[in-house]
Amino acid sequence: MNFLFIADPLAGFKTYKDSTYVMMVESARRGHGLFAMLAGDLAWRDGRVIGRLRKVELTGASPWFAEGASEWRDLAAFDAVIMRTDPPFDQAYLYATWLLEMAERQGARVFNRPQSLRDYNEKLAIARFPQFTAPTLVASDAALIRAFLAEQGDVVVKPLNAMGGAGVFRLRPHDPNLGAILETLTRNGAETIMAQRYLPEIKDGDKRILLIDGEVVPFCLARIPAEGETRGNLAAGGTGVARPLTEHDWEIARGLAPTLKQAGLLLVGLDVIGACLTEVNVTSPTCFQEITQQTGFDVAAMFVDALERNVKGGE
- What CATH number does residue 176 fall under? 3.30.1490.20
Based on the residue annotation, tell me whether 249 is a catalytic residue of this protein: no
Mean residue pLDDT of the chain comes to: 95
Based on the residue annotation, tell me whether 281 is a catalytic residue of this protein: yes
Q: Catalytic one among 26, 104, 249, 271?
A: 271
Same domain, 80 and 160: no
Q: Catalytic one among 161, 197, 208, 233?
A: 208
Asked if residue 314 is part of any domain, the answer here is: no
CA separation for the pair 184, 140 (Å, rounded): 11
Q: Catalytic one among 84, 109, 113, 158?
A: 158
Based on the residue annotation, tell me whether 261 is a catalytic residue of this protein: no
Q: How confident is the model at residue 223 (pLDDT cuts 50, 70, 90)?
A: very high
Same domain, 174 and 217: no
CA separation for the pair 207, 221 (Å, rounded): 5
State residue 315's pLDDT score.
61
Give me the domain span that covers residue 277. Answer: 200-308
User: Cα-flanking dihedrals φ and ψ of residue 270, to 5°?
Assistant: -90, 135
Q: Is the pLDDT of residue 230 over 90?
A: no
- pTM for this entry: 0.93
Q: Is the pLDDT of residue 226 over 90?
A: no
Based on the residue annotation, tell me whether 55 is a catalytic residue of this protein: no
Number of domains in the chain: 3
Based on the residue annotation, tell me whether 57 is a catalytic residue of this protein: no
When pLDDT is averaged across residues 20-45 and rounded to a whole number, the result is 98
Residue ranges of alpha helices (H) inside 160-287 are 178-186, 247-262
Based on the residue annotation, tell me whether 204 is a catalytic residue of this protein: no
When pLDDT is averaged across residues 237-250 and rounded to a whole number, the result is 94
DSSP 308: H
Task: Please state, in angstroms and as integers, the Cα–Cα distance from residue 202 to each residue in 10, 11, 236, 278, following that order.
Answer: 32, 33, 14, 11
